[in-house]
Amino acid sequence: MDVGTDTLRSISQDIANSIEPEPISKLEVLEPRPGVRCISVFVEGNDRPYSKSGMYLIRSGEENKVIPRIELRKMFQSCTDLLKETPSSNQELTFGELTDMMRMKGLHIVDESKLAKDLGFACSDGSFNMVGLLVSDQNPFTLSVSVFRDGTRNELKYSSDFSGHSIMRELLSVQDYVNSINETAVDMSSFIRQDVKLFDMDSFREAWVNAVVHNTWSLGIPPAVQIFEDRLEVISYGSIPYGQTEEKFFQGVSMPVNEALMQIFRSLGLSEHTGHGIPIITDRYGREAFGLTGANVRVTIAYDARRSSSLRNDEVAEILSKNEKLILSLLMSEPTFTLERVSQITGIGVSNTRGIVSGLKMRGYLARSGSRKKGTWVVNEEKLS
């Protein structure tokens, strides 16, 4: 083409005026051989998707097609931290649990307002975003563990809800609760006795942390754990990041959408950024453990042994674990004990104690009478008999 004095300027202006957001462009005139001149246009940017004259297009064969709305939504969700960009519906937030957990990790907190900006849960004007809402003491989302009577969802036995705390504290409570029901079975099939756990706790922990960190919270649906006779399932809502292939997903290539939330989890030691969680699960349970759809990501962890509370002739033999029996026995003799005191005496972690007590309450073994501070524990002795 003929290159005049205004050619490069005209192309540069066309790029700036028609592409949104404006990318970085570099234009120059090249002469690959004598008498032949061409224009080199180099454009780069990571703020996808880009629109051309207000349209979002994708190349299909020999033509440009408008990107379907659902695909465009996936692009936006995968290329920006929506939690950081979405204002919190509640601006009266406190962060006592977050700062306590950070201090326990040896992190020195001087200025909470500076901490909010450094960790990405405050906007430039100081207001809180959705990340702040999730990690605050006023977090409105409830994490739950649902226990079903058999291998289907036809009949719910009970559900344990964990609410009223930061998303980190609720995550740990669910984790401790699930760990408390991870029974040990005895395998006598060989000459050597082997103790077999119901499932691999490391795999569950990786699946659960990933579910909370990568959940599409803008949908308003929190991740959940569902426990069946033969398996447990960890469900998060949304899909794998746009542009990430299933092969890269299973290789553990990390593409966190909720980057700020991931950063907070990493600072608390709750999550890694290495992407090793997926390989841990696949090495133990195979790729078939993952169900990937456009609506959710479901991790199915099959049991390595038979649950003691499995259905037998329509009767459920609810066998209490060693820790459950220990806590019930203690609260039966000392009904005024706080959970912190129970933890000190039994040696069971405080968060694990809370998870066990929550499960015992939901199953009818334990109840609380009176206020939180001055109330007492009531053990259902009839259920124990």
Residue 217 and residue 219: Cα distance in Å, rounded? Answer: 5
Distance of CA 101 to the CA centre of its chain: 18
Which pLDDT does position 208 carry in this prediction?
95
- In sequence order, the 6+-apart residues with CB closer than 8 A to the CB of 323 are 180, 346, 348, 352, 356
Cis previous bond, 241, omega within 30 = no
Whether 2 maps to a domain, the answer reads no
| pLDDT tens figures, 256-272 | 678 889 889 988 888 76
DSSP state, residue 217? G
Whether 315 maps to a domain, the answer reads no
Per-residue confidence at 358, pLDDT binned at 50, 70, 90? confident
DSSP state, residue 81? -
Q: What is the CATH number of the domain that holds 380?
A: 1.10.10.10
Whether 346 maps to a domain, the answer reads yes
Q: Do 167 and 58 have their domain in common?
A: no
Q: Do 76 and 96 have their domain in common?
A: yes
Q: Do 110 and 237 have their domain in common?
A: yes
Q: Do 166 and 244 have their domain in common?
A: yes
- In sequence order, the 6+-apart residues with CB closer than 8 A to the CB of 35 are none
Provide the domain count of the chain. Answer: 3
Give the domain-ending residue among 67, 82, 105.
Answer: 67
Q: Do 170 and 285 have their domain in common?
A: yes
pLDDT over 50 (residue 76): yes
Distance of CA 157 to the CA centre of its chain: 25
Residue 380 and residue 362: Cα distance in Å, rounded? Answer: 12
Q: Do 339 and 374 have their domain in common?
A: yes
pLDDT over 70 (residue 74): no
Q: Do 255 and 163 have their domain in common?
A: yes
Residue 170 and residue 179: Cα distance in Å, rounded? Answer: 14
**336-354 CB burial, b ≥16 within 10 A, e <16:** ebebeebbeebebeebbbb
Which stretches does DSSP call E strand in 23-148?
A: 24-33, 36-44, 51-52, 57-60, 63-66, 143-148
Which pLDDT does position 312 carry in this prediction?
34
Give the domain-ending residue among 37, 67, 97.
Answer: 67
Q: Do 240 and 203 have their domain in common?
A: yes
Domain range enclosing 333: 320-384
Report the share of the chain in percent with pLDDT over 70: 86
- Mean pLDDT for the stretch of residues 13-31: 89
pLDDT over 80 (residue 316): no
Q: Do the Cβ atoms of 236 and 223 come closer than 8 Å?
A: yes
Whether 132 maps to a domain, the answer reads yes
Least confident span in 21-25, 47-51, 173-177, 317-321: 317-321
Whether 122 maps to a domain, the answer reads yes
Q: For residue 27, what are its two tokens?
A: 């234009």
Q: Do 83 and 19 have their domain in common?
A: no
Q: Do 38 and 74 have their domain in common?
A: no
Q: Do 149 and 282 have their domain in common?
A: yes
**Global pTM value:** 0.66
Residue by residue, DSSP assigns 232-298 as EEEEEES-SPTT--HHHHHHT----SSHHHHHHHHHTTS--SS-THHHHHHHHH-GGGEEE-SSEEE
Q: What is the CATH number of the domain that holds 282?
A: 3.30.565.60
- In sequence order, the 6+-apart residues with CB closer than 8 A to the CB of 154 are 148
Give the domain-ending residue among 252, 275, 310.
Answer: 310
| pLDDT tens figures, 196-255 | 788 999 999 999 999 999 898 988 899 999 999 899 999 998 877 666 677 777 776 666
Whether 1 maps to a domain, the answer reads no
Q: Do 245 and 207 have their domain in common?
A: yes
Whether 339 maps to a domain, the answer reads yes
